[in-house]
Structure 1
């Protein structure tokens, strides 16, 4: 097969000064690096054994299962990322490797369709006996997602046929009918994957199975308790209380009755993604209303300014409204990826810019913070404040790292980042159901062809959005055609100049849906030019967030900023930002093209001279001196060695 750069129909070919480098990193660094990691060939990194587990299950090698009970899922996510890369640029060498992995998976699959290396190798005969903890349906879901993506990218059915057999087997095991298991997964994932399988195959049974798993969750008597007693009260993860803590797995109530974001953050947003999928496919008003309530609780009361979610290490979970400690934040990279999945589905249900605003916030901050600028190191946890001297000493911070890691025993985050960035083109535009409105969700440079009101139109976006807020859109329909282009007004922007073929107008807000709607008969050569105002903006947290009260965080465009020790010295907590000072911008060597740092005059509170050895003293009032503060984009922290970091800084009145 010859390599080419022809994207699949409707796909965006990204050419962007900021994002093209990330996509190159995924293609040339992350996916190859993760392939090496999956094969245990990265020196000094945690072994994966994921590929070897499949080789043993397929009978190609002798040995024992190694790794976490969900180790198979890393292979599924890696394959899915590969599929998205192949969808926009064919690569015969990469496709050959992926085909080899698919052949291996097919060899490992049992005759009845089941495939899970943990149970096949380590606990044969105990399949489906510990749904609360052991991730069988989760792993199945990631294989299904990979299969649907690979089929769309290549047209090859081998993996799609294999996962269809697996899904058919699952449908034979689970259901409300007598003789079937009336359970559901501990870690949601199968639900959203089954919707994708339905969309590719057209088989309604997969949609119904997804709906069954959602509807069964939270019903009484509690299934996880029942299966725990049935298997002799044994636990796989005794430290996590997955069986008895029903909030942890969002099984405390039926999904339609849940109104607050509880438990494990990744599980919650994966569940919400599936709920939105089913609401869209079946017009289920009850599920849609539940999605709205859960969305509002996450975004308005339980989300960090960086788009991170999950504020507690124990259970990787949500806690209470407005409990958002910067230094103890868990904010798992996967959780923000899942939040983006949820946001994208909500946009399809009801086109309101608030969903795209959160999608952008999570993407530009927490998600890409999860990988180093060279694509070889990763954060699982994304705190908003770090003091390295307490790490390894105070167990409350055991989850926090001051530098990114090469790999993890539980390596869910790196392949999740890879698959999201590889599929980034799917998040840039949306089209109305009637095909008469093209929504611009993200201002990322690239080219795509869309059918608008029955006419093919090429949309080309040239963007320097991340550096100076400028965007240029060229519209080239095959023939003159009337439709609407809806431009999202970002929540961080209060003014945008929109020029249509040289005629300029200033907008201070969008329509009620948050978009600027431009309806006309578009002809070849029509051009839109946008200039978003990008001031540096001090942001405050809600007054009920006790940890950030009287503090501010700087934001410019989609980026949240932070202080780092490399620029500002140690004891960042001593720094203060006066109100009303002038900000200056500069580029930083080694940072992505066009990314600006922020400098501003601030103050450092000075310890009293001659304090001595006293731990506490009445002492004189604090003095201060003027210092120059330097802020960098949050996503870029920890790329210049280990040191302190803080998003929030005390505000001086």
Structure 2
């Protein structure tokens, strides 16, 4: 397909979120999560795994003495925190936070080498190893995250110091790798810099950065393969961590097994894949590369229609934190890394800028209301790295194949990529709610608040109100529109089977196209639009090819997936069978905070008495009727630790 129109998102500062549901989480990030993570990055939080990220920069800057500590990508923890803090500043001025950021930027600038190189792992005693192992090391990954932080901070404050630092860093990389015959044909082992370079291009206008991003994507997977050459050459057929002989690199692990234009199935490390696909969508849009965009469409359809969990999680195996194959979606052993779902939102958002299809908004919404909120505790200080769809705590403790799944959220991680990723996503939430084209304002997410969306033709000023996702009515008041023929398009979620749109109390006509209801006559200054989305709780079944879910159903209400917890239903949840003909009843006020509703249904529990120590016996159905209580997936694990499951026998 052709790239016929580019759709833009408003700036974060132009969208004010005033939502009973989401404001709690945004304030939690600003008031609790960012300060908590800052203390951890400074190693001032007792009982939490050491970070040393800021100390590494201070050592590299010559301000203190010591050795590097942490993972090879430790710099990126600070970079993602800086990006999250910058988005928070763009939404609301915070002088004290800005001063903290300025001080650490001074340290980062001092840690940069004269030639522009910036990576504390190598600057502290390993300078001779720079750029010798792109496959396993993360120099470009760390640079990419710091570039994103620099672009965000520049947009929030207008201050250029970190931006200038990262321009010099990007220039240094451009001098080392590229298409010139004399240059090494390298590219990152962990994709990230590709999408960061797009942001650097967008804030500087320097074509060099978009060209470098495109080069890294187009060179990937070509023959002779750079990672094989590196393994045979500078790596001497050994591993980075041990120096011992190793097998040839697994090229599918980081999606370098074939050129990106030939890739149609998601394989390998899920986070790497999502970051690469997001960058491909960006580059395809900016350079009007139809072939690359078509590759993005193939990859999108494979992920969403064959390899995505009902919660929006991605990546089914802990071996390599990776995709496996179509329809392989185990529940108890799912990896489903938080960062992979964050990356899938990035991919969807960028596809949405070229192809206005409600499917992208559906996926963003599914991830936000399930994985993102579920991966953090309600106190903002505990996190899931892995987001399973079934938990049996004893198995997680005693079965080595299941130890990657934690039945309770953790305070921090040695590899702490996920907590700051959650923070930067939530502080930038405003950019995902709306976008606009030549003559249309698109409403993607139903989050209450005000927005002033500036277009070339004028400004839309609107206000959203409602108690989504628990209540069906969304009210949109139009305070101003551009002085031209224009329209508003409302995403009708894929889960919604019936809806109604009213304007000033009367049902209005609309045109449906690719998941959006386009309103033309209802758009006028002072107009009021009411959208009613039917959202009864209902049972969802998986494609029969998903063997893990055969004979089971999940409960979903609107975009929210529900699950059973031991707290409400007793132990051994696998003994419960749901009556598929039972009426699903939504009930509020049963022990959950904020009036969050539970869903109740009739079911049956297999009787466990009278087995007298037997392990097997002839089949006889013995069960009793029981009430089933399901809670939103995102709240599980916030009460007494215990079992959990999303898919229930029917």
- TM-score category of the 2 structures, normalised to the smaller one: over 0.9
Match of residue 261 from structure 1: 266
Aligned counterpart in structure 2 of residue 247 of structure 1, from 243, 252, 259: 252
Task: State the secondary structure of the residue aligned to 1:537.
Answer: strand
Which one of the candidate residues 415, 421, 427 is aligned to 1:416? Answer: 421
**Equivalence for 1:3:** none
CA–CA distance in 1 between the matches of 2:263 and 2:112?
37
The match for 1:468 among 466, 471, 487 is: 471
Task: Give 1:551 shift.
Answer: 0.2
The structural deviation recorded for 1:521 is: 7.2
* 1:146-165 deviation line (CA, Å, top 9, x unaligned): 00000000000000010001
2-side partners of 1:611 and 1:345: how far apart? 56
238, 253, 257: which is aligned to 1:234?
A: 238
- Find the aligned partners of 1:443 and 1:80 in 2 and give their Cα distance: 25
**Residues 499, 505 of structure 1: 8 Å contact kept:** yes
Instruction: Indicate the residue corresponding to 1:315 in structure 2.
Output: 320
**Alpha carbons of structure 1 residues 35 and 611: separation in structure 2 relative to 1, 3 Å:** same
**Residue 374 of structure 1 is aligned with which of 379, 382, 385?**
379
Structure 2: gaps of 5 or more residues? 1-9
TM score, norm. by length of structure 1: 0.95
CA contact (8 A) 2:561 2:632 kept: yes
- The alignment yields a C-alpha RMSD, in angstroms, of 1.8
CA distance in 2, matches of 1:442, 1:394: 41
TM-score by length of 2: 0.96
Is contact 2:334-2:389 (8 Å) kept? Answer: yes
Aligned partner of 2:285 among 252, 272, 280: 280
In 2, Cα distance between the equivalents of 1:377 and 1:242?
A: 37
Q: 1:462 offset after TM fit, Å? A: 1.0
Q: Which residue of 496, 500, 508 corresponds with 1:497?
A: 500
Residue 330 (structure 1) shift? 0.4
CA contact (8 A) 1:54 1:105 kept: yes
Q: 2:306 aligns with which of 301, 305, 308?
A: 301
Please state how far the C-alpha of 1:178 moved relative to its aligned partner.
Answer: 3.1
Contact 1:10-1:449 at 8 Å conserved across structures = no
Per the TM alignment, residue 467 of structure 1 is displaced from its structure 2 partner at its CA by 1.2
Q: CA separation in 1, counterparts of 2:606 and 2:198?
A: 56
Cα deviation, residue 245, structure 1: 0.8
Partner of 1:124: 127
Distance 2:188 2:626 in 1: 54
- Using a 3 Å threshold, how does the CA distance of structure 1 residues 14 and 591 change in structure 2: closer, same or farther? farther
Task: Give the deviation of 1:290 after TM superposition.
Answer: 0.3
Aligned counterpart, 1:539: 540
Residue correspondence of structure 1 range 108-507 to structure 2 within 5 A:
108-231=111-234, 232-237=236-241, 244-432=249-437, 434=438, 436-452=439-455, 454-477=457-480, 481-504=484-507
The 8 Å contact of residues 326 and 384 in structure 1, kept in 2 or not, is answered as: yes
Distance 2:93 2:304 in 1: 38
Q: CA offset at residue 9 of structure 1?
A: 7.7
CA-to-aligned-CA distance 1:340-364 (integer Å, 9 cap, x gap) = 0000011111101011101111111
Report the Cα offset of residue 10 of structure 1.
Answer: 6.2
Name the SS of the counterpart of 2:221 in structure 1.
coil
The question of whether the paired residues in 2 share the 8 Å contact of 1:80 and 1:419 is answered with yes
Do the aligned residues in 2 keep the contact of 1:489 with 1:516 (CA within 8 Å)?
yes
- Displacement of 1:504: 2.4
Q: CA–CA distance in 2 between the matches of 1:204 and 1:480?
A: 34
| Counterparts in 2 of 1:9 and 1:263: CA distance versus 1, 3 Å | closer
In structure 2, C-alpha distance between the alignment counterparts of 1:518 and 1:579, rounded to whole Å: 38
Q: Which residue of 2 aligns with 1:581?
A: 582
Q: Tell me if 1:610 matches 2:613.
A: no
Using the alignment, how far apart are the partners of 1:477 and 1:530 within structure 2?
19
For residue 457 of structure 1, report the CA deviation from its aligned partner.
2.4
Following superposition of structure 1 onto structure 2, how do residues 488-637 of structure 1 map, counting pairs within 5 Å? Answer: 488-504=491-507, 511-520=512-521, 522-588=523-589, 591=592, 593-607=594-608, 609-618=609-618, 621-637=620-636
Q: Deviations over 1:293-352 (max 9, x none)?
A: 000100111010000000000000000110000001000000000000000011111101
Which residue in 2 is equivalent to 1:31? 34
TM-superposed deviation, 1:79:
0.4
Cα 1:199–1:463, aligned 2, differ >3 Å: closer, same or farther? Answer: same
